Structure 1
């Protein structure tokens, strides 16, 4: 499905954002709104998704986290043996997908009072965290670096 948004001009003048543009182009902006959810930023590295799943129990809901995507799926048995005169509470199955940014991990989930709370944490690996690079003093360090490299090459 192709969206009405065209990111062609932005693609040509950017580097490394291909995945972002693909996600925007493939998003279903006018799609399914069931079940409703809230996205809460707890702090800089913690988030919580709250999904309204009234009528669903723990055994009726399945959570799957795989490769930058969280899938929340709910399915209830069709017939519970009750003789309804009117059925106004939604009992339909659902599937809700959430795209997760890099390094976002699902820590756990809890179901209470018809609200499914999913805890998310951003864990950036140490190698990916910003680090400060010290700049040397007045003596030219690049000459010392080259000398070390040459000495190592001679020793090998």
Structure 2
């Protein structure tokens, strides 16, 4: 049976890769770790998005931010400390992977870890409108 989706509409050409990413994003969202996304206007008219992810307990070397193919992948993996003996373990040493899709032309500027928050800065420059006339040839 063929799967029908919004992206299989005849006027949406070339969105196959986007649909695959969207499916992967929908499957990976378990709510951990919590995050905020804030939009800030830039002085040049563009926009900056700040993705703040709550990563309390993670050290800088236990986090990874990868920008690839219109998506941002944030991973965290804590090393288990075998020398500690817990009487109660309410804070789990848990790994995570969170994916964010970004539009074409956006770029990741920086990632900073401070006070248990990982803040990833993503910039979208002002896009100049692109329109061009296509010459129609006559074929005989």
Q: Determine if the TM-score, normalized by the shorter chain, exceeds 0.5.
A: yes
Aligned length: 125
Segments of 4+ in structure 1 off by > 6 A? none
Structure with the bigger RCO (C-alpha within 8 Å, sep 6+) is: 2
Deviations 1:61-94 (A, max 9, x none): 0111112111111111112522111111232111
Q: 1:85 aligns with which of 80, 84, 87?
A: 87
Gaps of 5+ in 1: 134-156
Equivalent in the alignment of 1:50: 52
Pairing 1:1-156 to 2, within 5 Å after superposition: 6-7=5-6, 11-12=9-10, 14-16=11-13, 18-19=15-16, 22=19, 23-28=21-26, 31-43=29-41, 44-79=46-81, 81-123=83-125, 129-130=128-129
The RMSD of aligned alpha carbons is: 2.9
* TM-score, L = length of structure 2: 0.73
Whose helix fraction is larger, Structure 1's or Structure 2's?
1
* TM-score, L = length of structure 1: 0.67
Whose strand fraction is larger, Structure 1's or Structure 2's?
2
